[in-house]
């Protein structure tokens, strides 16, 4: 549905995006000469899309649409951790792009290094920050521009609210954790809960998790990732809610679990979890929540679940994040193709997903002045400015 919607959106809007824009003149009238200004979008050349494993088809195709809309050729590098999708793309793309305007390059680290060293003209990487740093280092050898979609530890502030509202907040958080197994760059990474409703909200979270039944056990992308997430639970068993299952968990599964007030120095509060764990910490008020978020790297999305406009304003004005979701979940946050979606600071930069923001990211913008008469410079062919007029 997202791809179909994006296709219609691009088709309707691309002519206006690609048309030259006329910037307003800013020089004083006595310096102006006859002519007109244009800013003309141009293709960068060859784009490289390095896709992640958690949405391997969608996060290949959506950036591809932006690359093509901007007039670029494109190389797709699917994730080697999603081999079925990678093989499917490698089979389908030559069929639909026989002119090789789009090609697929399968492989791992060495393939990425070779592609960036070719070089290409723009790189999009979606994934984790540590690999993002390596991508940047490779691209820097050729001064290749890069867009990064990285994620991070997305905070979720839960304010004092009626019980029915707290139920909605909990259903959204637990549903997102269980549906994706937490393997989603927009998933809430931890919660900051107002002390006035802390105990009640924890009870609601626990009941929502218990209601999952067998669905509490979430499949990870592979056993290695499951081991990484389970390692974050080490030493945290006493604060796990509901209690961790006594039965042996399959090697590629992790249960949805709340962690009550873990140490902020613990690995689960230092690393992006990217799994179904949810640290929950108590805060006295909105100011403490804002201060907590400000002391940490900028996230991709900050969530503010509150009935109070002053809380919304505090998160908007006093925190920094790529995106701010007030009283909504990630589906609504990513539903407007007119709004660019990207990170800030350590959660990335650039707008890779869709819309004019992606078109602009994947374009060069050439400034043109077309003089109907020759316009020289003050140190060259321009006539001297008129002398100042005496004051009356």
Q: What is the pLDDT of residues 174-201, one digit of tens each?
A: 999 999 999 999 999 999 999 999 999 9
Residues in the chain: 392
Smallest Cα–Cα separation from 112: which of 93, 94, 135, 89? 135
How far apart, in whole angstroms, are the C-alpha atoms of residue 82 and residue 236? Answer: 31
Kindly report each contact of residues 196-204 with a partner whose C-beta sits within 8 Å and lies 24 or more positions away, as own/partner: 196/160, 197/158, 197/159, 197/160, 197/161, 197/166, 198/280, 198/282, 200/163, 200/166, 201/158, 201/166, 201/169, 201/170, 201/280, 202/241, 202/258, 202/260, 202/280, 204/163, 204/166, 204/167, 204/170
Confidence class of residue 392 from pLDDT cuts 50, 70 and 90?
low
How far apart, in whole angstroms, are the C-alpha atoms of residue 72 and residue 334? Answer: 24
Joined together, the tokens standing for residue 164 give 């029915």
- Would you kindly state where each structural domain of the chain is located, as residue ranges? 1-151+347-371, 155-334
β-strands 240-241, 217-219: how paired? Answer: unpaired
Q: Which one of the listed residues 149, 172, 206, 272 is annotated catalytic?
A: 149
The three-class DSSP label of residue 365 is strand
- Kindly report, residue by residue over 261-302, the tens digit of the pLDDT: 999 999 999 999 999 999 999 999 999 999 999 999 999 999
Average pLDDT of the residues in 302-324: 97
Active-site residue, 206 included: no
C-beta of residue 75 within 8 angstroms of C-beta of residue 49: yes
- DSSP secondary structure of 95-124: HH-TTSSEEE---SHHHHHHHHTTT-SEEE
- In this model, does residue 249 exceed pLDDT 80? no
The domain at 155-334 falls in which architecture?
3-Layer(aba) Sandwich (3.40)
pLDDT above 90 covers a percentage of the chain that reads 85
- pTM for this model (two decimals): 0.93
- Kindly report, residue by residue over 333-355, the tens digit of the pLDDT: 888 888 888 999 999 999 878 89
Q: Which CATH superfamily is domain 1-151+347-371 in?
A: Aldehyde Dehydrogenase; Chain A, domain 1 (3.40.605.10)
Backbone angles phi, psi at 88, to 5 degrees: -60, -45
Question: Which residues touch 387 (CB under 8 Å, ≥6 apart)?
Answer: none
Other beta carbons within 10 angstroms of residue 261's beta carbon come to 13
Smallest Cα–Cα separation from 132: which of 345, 358, 354? 345
């Amino acid at each position: 549905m997202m791809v179909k919607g994006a296709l219609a959106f691009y088709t309707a809007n691309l002519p206006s995006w690609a048309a030259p824009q006329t910037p307003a003149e800013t020089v004083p009238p006595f310096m102006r000469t006859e002519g007109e200004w244009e800013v003309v979008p141009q293709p960068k050349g060859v784009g490289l899309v390095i896709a992640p494993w958690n949405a391997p088809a969608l996060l290949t195709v959506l950036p591809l649409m932006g690359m093509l809309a901007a007039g670029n050729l494109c190389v797709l590098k699917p994730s080697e951790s999603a081999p079925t999708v990678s093989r499917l793309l490698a089979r389908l793309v030559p069929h639909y792009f026989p002119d090789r305007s789009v090609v697929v390059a399968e492989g791992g680290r060495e393939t990425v290094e070779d592609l960036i060293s070719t070089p290409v003209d723009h790189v999009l990487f979606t994934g984790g920050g540590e690999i993002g740093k390596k991508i940047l280092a490779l691209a820097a050898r050729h001064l290749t521009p890069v867009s990064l979609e990285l994620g991070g530890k997305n905070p979720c502030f839960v304010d004092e609210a009626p019980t029915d509202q707290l139920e909605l907040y909990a259903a959204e958080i637990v549903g997102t954790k269980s549906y994706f197994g937490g393997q989603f760059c927009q998933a809430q990474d931890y919660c900051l809960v107002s002390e006035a409703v802390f105990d009640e909200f924890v009870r609601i979270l626990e009941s929502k998790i218990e209601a999952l039944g067998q669905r509490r056990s979430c499949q990870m992308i592979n056993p290695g990732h499951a081991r990484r997430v389970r390692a974050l639970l080490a030493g945290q068993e006493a604060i796990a809610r509901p209690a961790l299952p006594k039965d042996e968990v399959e090697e590629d599964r992790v249960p949805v679990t709340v962690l009550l007030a873990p140490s902020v120095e613990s690995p689960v509060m230092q690393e992006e979890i990217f799994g179904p764990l949810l640290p929950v910490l108590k805060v006295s008020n909105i100011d403490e929540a804002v201060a907590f978020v400000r002391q940490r790297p900028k996230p991709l999305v900050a969530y503010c679940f509150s009935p109070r406009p002053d809380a919304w304003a505090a998160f908007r004005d006093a925190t920094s994040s790529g995106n701010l979701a007030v009283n909504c979940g990630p589906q609504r946050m990513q539903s407007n193709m007119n709004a660019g979606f990207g990170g800030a600071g350590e959660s990335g930069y650039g707008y890779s997903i869709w819309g004019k923001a992606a078109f602009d990211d994947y374009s060069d913008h050439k400034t043109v002045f077309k003089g109907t008469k020759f316009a020289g410079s003050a140190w060259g062919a321009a006539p001297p400015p008129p002398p100042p007029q005496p004051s009356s």
